[in-house]
Amino acid sequence: MEELKIQIPLFHVDTQKNNENFIMGGTLPPSLEDGDWAGKGVYFWDNLGNAQYWLKEKNRKNQKQKYNIVRTYLSVPANEVLDLTEPTEIRSFEESISTMQRMKLLDKKIGTKHKGAIINAYWKVLNSFGNATLFSVVKVIGYYPKINNSIYFKENDTQKNIQPYVTIKGKVIYAIRDLQVLSDNYRKIIEVKEERL
Amino acid sequence: MSFELPSVTELEKMINALSDKEFNQIRTEYSAEVFYQEMKELQKRINKTYSNTITHNYITNSESSLDNKNFDSKNITPTNVDPLKESISTIKKNMQFNRKNDIFANSTTFVSSGFRKKTSLKLNEKGKAA
């Protein structure tokens, strides 16, 4: 059977120096701080607009540093992606957490709010077991409640409470644990005009 | 199609197969990450409280300085340093150090070497570290 692959462009915001190193074939520093998101890894957006949003945030928070956006191409076997946007995958993952708590690997008192730390612990368990398949990518949806800069995608009060609706507040995020799944050939710095930010 | 998570039975087998050292390492690292996140949240709360306090002080200062002709509101800057904020910053730095070096496995080394480093500082004539 042919191996199913996920192949999509991804975008990352980092310092100009780090991104330039990346397009020359180097690596990017993985996130250590975002342990409450999708665990360790380098974080990518699946579209340029979200990367632009994040670039603006980074520039606002740290005006001394120079940031830009780099584009790359993800090419990964589908079975290496821990897809935490997918309900059945989430259920299985939650069963795993319960098992790890029952076996005292994770502390029950802490609860399950530290998703990133749990993902990291889970990866370690799999990694320590020689022949287990490992995931190299974690896919999640980040929710950004303060974003409401669209005329047509604004939510009204009724929608907020009871109805499903289209929103721009959810952003797809990929945490890449193994940068080898990113193609060398498509790495490029994306110039963004000031007015787009 | 996405990552196929091991079943509960398979996961139990994996966890049982971990050596004590591996088990404790995972548990410690998880606890350290959770602790780090808790610190981040605490820092956010402190920052919020701290900024409220400064706002309050600004108001108090402004009111008490109404009779002062030299008073210039633009020159008000917070001078006091929040010790809690500082200590969390230190904890964060230590956690980062520990995370890079397999957390508490090396913590004794870290503390002792840090102590040695601190005590071996030489001061120049102005009392600053040389």
Q: What is the pLDDT of residues A25-43, one digit of tens each?
A: 999 999 876 677 999 999 9
Closest CA to B12 of A100, A94, A88: A100
**Closest residue in B to A112 (Cα–Cα):** B34
Write out chain A residues lying below 8 Å of B23, CB-based.
Answer: 105
B127 within some domain: no
Instruction: Work out the pLDDT band at A10, boundaries 50, 70, 90.
Output: very high
Write out chain B residues lying below 8 Å of A86, CB-based.
Answer: 2
Residue A108 is predicted with a pLDDT of 77
Q: What angle do CA B123, B128, B130 make, to 5 degrees?
A: 55
B118 within some domain: no
Instruction: Work out the pLDDT band at A114, boundaries 50, 70, 90.
Output: confident
Please give the average per-residue pLDDT across A166-188, as a whole number.
Answer: 91
CA distance A118 to B34: 9
Residue B108 is predicted with a pLDDT of 39
B120 within some domain: no
Q: Which two tokens stand for residue A45?
A: 């957006």
Residue B63 is predicted with a pLDDT of 41
Among A73-82, A88-97, A107-116, the minimum mean pLDDT is found in A107-116
Residue B78 is predicted with a pLDDT of 46
B72 within some domain: no
**Domain limits for position B60:** 8-65+78-103
CA distance B76 to A174: 44
B53 within some domain: yes
Residue A19 is predicted with a pLDDT of 97
B28 within some domain: yes
B95 within some domain: yes
Task: Pick A117's closest partner by Cβ from B4, B18, B37.
Answer: B37
CA distances from A68 to A40, A42, B43, B89 (A): 21, 15, 28, 27
Contact A36 B5 (CB under 8 A): no
Please give the average per-residue pLDDT across A109-124, as a whole number.
Answer: 81
Q: Flag whether pLDDT at A150 surpasses 60.
A: yes
Instruction: Please check whether residue A163 touches B, CB under 8 A.
Output: no
**Tally of domains in chain B:** 1
Among A128-132, A173-177, B86-90, B104-108, the minimum mean pLDDT is found in B104-108
Residue A32 is predicted with a pLDDT of 72
Residue B2 is predicted with a pLDDT of 83
Best mutation target, A2, A3, A32, to test chain B (most B CBs within 10 A): A32
B112 within some domain: no
Best mutation target, A96, A139, A172, A178, to test chain B (most B CBs within 10 A): A96
- Above pLDDT 90, what percent of chain A? 58
CA distances from A105 to A85, A139, B55, B92 (A): 25, 24, 45, 24
Question: Which residues of chain B from 42 to 101 reach within 8 Å of chain A, CB to CB?
Answer: 96, 99
Residue B109 is predicted with a pLDDT of 35
- Splitting chain B (130 residues) into consecutive groups of 10 residues, what average pLDDT does each group show? 88 90 86 78 78 50 46 48 56 48 40 39 50
- Above pLDDT 70, what percent of chain A? 88
Residue by residue, what is the 3-state secondary structure of chain A?
CCCCEEEEEEEEEEEHHHHHHHHCCCCCCCECCCCCCCCCEEEEECCHHHHHHHHHHHHHHCCCCCEEEEEEEEEEEHHHEEECCCHHHHHHHHHHHHHHHHCCCCCCCCCCCCHHHHHHHHHHHHHHCCCCCCCCEEEEEEECCCCCCCCCCCCCHHHHHCCCCCCCCEEEEEEECCHHHEEEEEEEEECCCHHHC
Instruction: Please check whether residue B30 touches A, CB under 8 A.
Output: yes
Please give the average per-residue pLDDT across A131-146, as a whole number.
Answer: 89
Instruction: Please check whether residue B9 touches A, CB under 8 A.
Output: no
**Closest residue in A to B92 (Cα–Cα):** A33
Q: Indicate the average pLDDT of chain A.
A: 87
Instruction: Work out the pLDDT band at A9, boundaries 50, 70, 90.
Output: very high
Residue B82 is predicted with a pLDDT of 52
